[in-house]
Structure 1
Amino acid sequence: MSEPGKIVANPGSTLGEALGALIEREVNLLVRPVAEDNGCVYVTAGRPNPRTGQPTKLLLQDAAGNQFNVDAVIANQRMQPLVLIESKYIRYKKHNRDKGSWICTAHYSLRRTFPTIRKSIAVLAGSWSGSSKAMLNSFDVTLFEVGFAEIIRILADYGIDFAWQEKERDRAMRAWLNWTELSDYQYNEIARRLCSTIESALRESLNVTLSPDTSRKV
């Protein structure tokens, strides 16, 4: 997943991005079979670029023409969105409002544009303040949390000290270098352990939302 021993300019940020990507990938692995078991389509990227063949960003456009890059969408067979899903990792609470506000704005606007949307979900990993979570709840976003303390505890089992302070670059660099030495099996194991606390509730929530027997608001 990461080149062993690779020195980077910002080890704390780079490790955070790698961890966030790992959690998002695990969320996709958990959600996809639930969507497909309910006869739906799970989408995590836009159509491939015709020149490169690489997937593009997953963009949904609201009625005003604004495009929002969402992490994943569960759609019906007519490709109408049913569930919007975000997976966001934050280490420092000072970044809460930016990411939290974006989810609120994007999901609210898209729900107004697409009446087929039944639920907004956000998997929040790391340090999220009570006020940010309250704001997301007020916009009808269902939250699933992977707490910062749990991340520290699990990574410590793999020799990674994740509890550095913001200015402790040397400590962050050691954590990053230790991270790059892990095997793919260990990365996958970390992802499974981090998401194990939300797995059951996330599956249940989606099954209820996608079930044809669930009554809908009119």
Structure 2
Amino acid sequence: MKKKIIIEGKKVQGVGYRPFLLAKAMRLRIPNYDAENVVENGKQKIRVSFEGKEKQVQEFVEFVKENYPENAKVSSVREAEPSKDVIPICEYARILSAEQQNTVIQAGLGMLGMQSQTISEVKLVGDKVDAVGDKVDAVGDEVKAVGDKVDALGDKVDAVGDEVKAVGSKVDNLATTTQDSFSTINTKYDIMSCNMNKILVELIKQRKASDKRTEKLVKAILASKQDKQINK
């Protein structure tokens, strides 16, 4: 018995569909088998032709209609007019193996091309990283120079601080000396004031005594004149 099944869907190629079906056909011992990927009107399809005993063929048809590879996206599974000739399954297995090897080789070549491009890009990135590293070193030198200037400024600030501290000490000493001087002057002024008061009091006493002596002298002179006039 011969059968042809057409599997159609959004993603039925490149998902391991044909090896998946071949493994089942070999388990059922189907003698003649063929499967090919085709694209018609932008749609992915797989044409599966097989020939064997009726029981083998029917069981395989049921399997194809009910089972899909994990990543396949199938929209329809339908039977079509069988092909006239179907190659032996062992021959198809060799063809499929050759196709897969070619796919691997092409993928490997593509990866080599991508690898070369990646190496070039990595080298370019490496050059940019080196350039950035040089800039970072330059910035580091500038930062160090600024740090040295800051340290020098700090030393100057410390020196100014010491000078200000010294001036402050001198001002404190001057204030203390001035205060002591004023205290001494005040003490001396108090003593002088007290002495002046004593001298003034003594002068007043002496003046009063002098006035009394003068008054007595005047009276004596007047009395003497009166006596002389009487005697005449």
Shorter-chain TM band: under 0.3
User: What is the TM-score when the length of structure 2 is the normalising length?
Assistant: 0.19
User: What is the TM-score when the length of structure 1 is the normalising length?
Assistant: 0.20
Larger RCO: Structure 1 or Structure 2 (Cα < 8 Å, ≥ 6 residues apart)?
1
- Flag the structure with higher helix content: 2
Computing the radius of gyration from Cα coordinates, the structure with the larger value is 2
- Flag the structure with higher strand content: 1
